[in-house]
A = this chain, B = another copy of it.
C-alpha cells in the first residue's frame, strides 16, 4: 500500500519521494498530465512502477503534490515587493527575479502554464483565494505609488499580468524564442537580453 503520511519517516522515503517528484516534474512539464505515463516517471526516477506507487497513491497524487509546492514558489517573488522600497527598484527587481525563474526553473513554469491552459482544474480554488488576495494587496501598493506620484498612472492588475506574461514567456515559449532568435542570439544570453529589454521598457513606461 502507498505511503500516506505527509512527512516521510525514513531516509529512503525522503530520498525516493524527492527523486519521484523531480522525475515527475521533468515528465509532466514536457508532456502534460495525460501525456505522461507512470512508467515514464518511474523510469526517469530509476525505479519500477509498483515501487513508485508505493510512495504515491496514484498519478494524480504526484501531480497534485507538485502543483501544491509550485504555488508557493511561484508567489514568492511577488510577495517580496516592498511598499516602502523605491517603486522603480522594486518593480525592476521583480522583473529580474521573474526572468531568473524562467531561466532556472523552466519546468516549473511550464507545469504551471499547462495547468492554466487547461482551466486550472486543480488550482482554481487557490487562484481565487491566496493568489487573488496577494495580487489585490500588491495592486493597492502600486496604486499608492501612483497616488504619491512616484510612478505614472496605470492599471496595477494589468501591469502585474503583463510582467507575468512577458517574463514567463521565456520559459513557456522557449522553443519559439530560440527559433526566432536563431543560433547566434538564441544562446544563454537571451535571458540577459530579455531582462535588459524588459527593465528599461518598464522603467520608461512607469516613469512619472
Contact = CB atoms under 8 A, between A and B. Distances in A.
Interface of A: 30-35, 110, 113-114, 116-120, 124, 127-128, 131-132, 135-136, 152, 154-155, 157-159, 161-162, 164-166, 168-170, 172-173, 175-177, 179-182, 185, 193-194, 196-198, 200-202, 204-205
A180 to B, nearest CB: 5
A12 to B, nearest CB: 32
21 contacts: A32-B118, A34-B34, A35-B35, A114-B117, A117-B173, A119-B175, A120-B175, A127-B176, A128-B179, A131-B180, A132-B180, A155-B196, A157-B181, A158-B194, A159-B201, A161-B166, A161-B180, A162-B201, A165-B165, A165-B166, A204-B205
